[in-house]
Chains A and B, each alone.
Chain A
């Protein structure tokens, strides 16, 4: 699949260098332009290999009541297949030590295992439901998983400026049959290809949630990551903040750091 995309992509990109952007735009359909933008966003974020980050979550109820969660995560960038991730829950305290291993796939169900420390039991869990809430938050599992190109089909909608940054607005249609969304609209800034905003539409096509990403920082002079995500659910009035900290890249992790044994030892 990746190969097929790059077969389309490489001539496209070389065309882009040879001709002016305006000529391309006129030759391209909105679908081709959407795919080109998504492909470029994917390309500029390739090569980080492995990463580690700490996540502080704040769940906010419609009346402003706050609940917090702490999770540490490490990732392995997928070459052929999707990314792998290992998450360790530090709070709430009753689930402290619980760990979660996921091998993500674009079009099939992910492979997921949960380690329950009280029982010392590793459980393979069903993962069809990528639309289920992550730790009771407004983020679904699919909102936090890696964004392989094959996961969506694309349609360029318009250019728009938000927060003084020129953006492409690209509509993404999930290719995964059990996705919780009919589509999502993604604002990507033209300069660095960073995601600034995503609007999620439920399966009936109604606006469900809006995600805003703030405080982007560049790591290793290449990879942009936001410090803060804010997700508002328009249908329930609930919202969730994600505060990311301590990003580390290029840790030299390998597949051997992401298996059931490392899951059981995770601390």
Chain B
């Protein structure tokens, strides 16, 4: 029944897509942004221009939709960071019980703020930002069943997307300081081709399933993923002393990962938990992110809110963890002015509880100008003097960034 209806709807939509149709208008929106990042230790400014557009069409009864969302950035220093991506390009059928999507899309799973352990479908767009918040579009088939007892999402992911790293001339360039016969020297990073555990390489078909539901104040999600791990294992394969180049290898292993997300919304308290269990050919591990967000309302005359965040991140591999969050405490503060310009300041510091001299922190502030511009200032600092700590790689990457975006 459902498939019959779906078929006829699909035929209908193709017909509409082919024939010019007066009532089927395409909804276009997007943003264009200018950004300048000053790296204070490296002593350069990197500026860039980004454009994102979103094209959306739906049938009269909203059951069929198409969405296209291309993105591009032009960078003045780093040719690698000049890049384009199809964030989304999919077909969607939806009714009250079922949803089906085919194409490139982004799916987010998670509740915590300081890291996203459970969210594994999309590759991180590392060129956009090192913090893992930006994602590349992922080809997928998604079938969703909406029930009184919860939502089941099933995914087939037929193609894998590699992580791309910034080039030598921009920020986050993975430059290394190494001791040589002539003293300490900077070694530029050169990225070797990606290596895969699976012989099918990036054609390996991955799959995932997730159950999510809410009961009163509790929102819960349980997920399972089987396929290529999105995070590569990085290693220095060899060093060219003469040219001062470090050759980095990136290896993608096969993994299965169970994940759980849990949030309890109790008054002004949000209690959050994310946990994973990963089995792969490297050391199996579990990791956890747990904490709270507490909001103090009306701290100013204008009704500003102050949010306090505390999250503990743990990784069972300890010192061998590939993430900097092996035993770290994130403390943050969000100040929302609740004014017509929606001004907001977010500050956070993540401190390594095993090594107190390792920490990283950020300040993000944003403010609306007029009806369609947004001005943002972001600053990050990194502090580590332990070469085995993943944060150490970024220890000279402190930066302050100012960006102005126009939305349309």
A interface residues with partner B (beta carbon < 8 Å): 59, 61, 67-68, 91-97, 109, 111, 119-121, 124-129, 131-133, 136-137, 180, 236, 254, 256-257, 259-261, 265, 267
B263 at the interface (CB under 8 A from A): yes
Q: Which A residues lie within 8 Å of B96 (CB)?
A: 254, 256-257
Select one of B99, B263, B341 contacting A261, CB under 8 A: B99
CB<8 Å pairs between A and B, sample of 9: A59-B340, A68-B371, A121-B108, A124-B219, A126-B293, A128-B268, A180-B298, A236-B302, A267-B62
Q: B369-392 vs A: 1/0 string, CB under 8 Å?
A: 001111000000000000000000
Q: B132-148 vs A: 1/0 string, CB under 8 Å?
A: 01000000000010100
Q: Which B residues lie within 8 Å of A256 (CB)?
A: 96-97, 146
Q: B332-374 vs A: 1/0 string, CB under 8 Å?
A: 0000001111100000000000000000000000001001111
In the complex, the number of residue pairs spanning A and B with C-beta atoms less than 8 Å apart equals 108
The chain A residue with its CB closest to the CB of B371 is A92
Contact A132 B298 (CB under 8 A): yes
Which secondary structure dominates chain A's binding surface?
A: loop
Of A111, A121, A254, A256, the most chain B CB neighbours within 10 A belong to A121
Contact A94 B407 (CB under 8 A): yes
Q: Which A residues lie within 8 Å of B99 (CB)?
A: 261, 265
- Which residues of chain B (264-306) have a CB below 8 Å from chain A? 265, 267-270, 293, 295, 297-298, 301-303, 305
The chain B residue with its CB closest to the CB of A95 is B342
B7 at the interface (CB under 8 A from A): no
B203 at the interface (CB under 8 A from A): no
Q: Bound state CA distance, A127 and B270, in angstroms? A: 10
B130 at the interface (CB under 8 A from A): no
Contact B27 A267 (CB under 8 A): yes
B interface residues with partner A (beta carbon < 8 Å): 27, 29, 31, 56, 58, 62, 65, 92, 94, 96-97, 99, 106-108, 110-111, 133, 144, 146, 151, 212, 214, 217, 219, 263, 265, 267-270, 293, 295, 297-298, 301-303, 305, 338-342, 368, 371-374, 405, 407-408
Select one of A91, A94, A132, A267 contacting B297, CB under 8 A: A132
Contact B146 A91 (CB under 8 A): no
The chain A residue with its CB closest to the CB of B301 is A236
Tell me the minimal C-beta distance from A176 to chain B in angstroms.
12
The chain A residue with its CB closest to the CB of B337 is A136
Contact A94 B405 (CB under 8 A): yes
Q: Which A residues lie within 8 Å of B29 (CB)?
A: 93, 96-97
Contact B303 A109 (CB under 8 A): no
Q: Bound state CA distance, A97 and B67, in angstroms? A: 14
Tell me the minimal C-beta distance from B300 to chain A in angstroms.
11
Q: Which B residues lie within 8 Å of A67 (CB)?
A: 340, 371
Select one of B212, B270, B342, B374 contacting A136, CB under 8 A: B342
The chain B residue with its CB closest to the CB of A119 is B108
Contact A131 B270 (CB under 8 A): no
Contact B303 A132 (CB under 8 A): yes
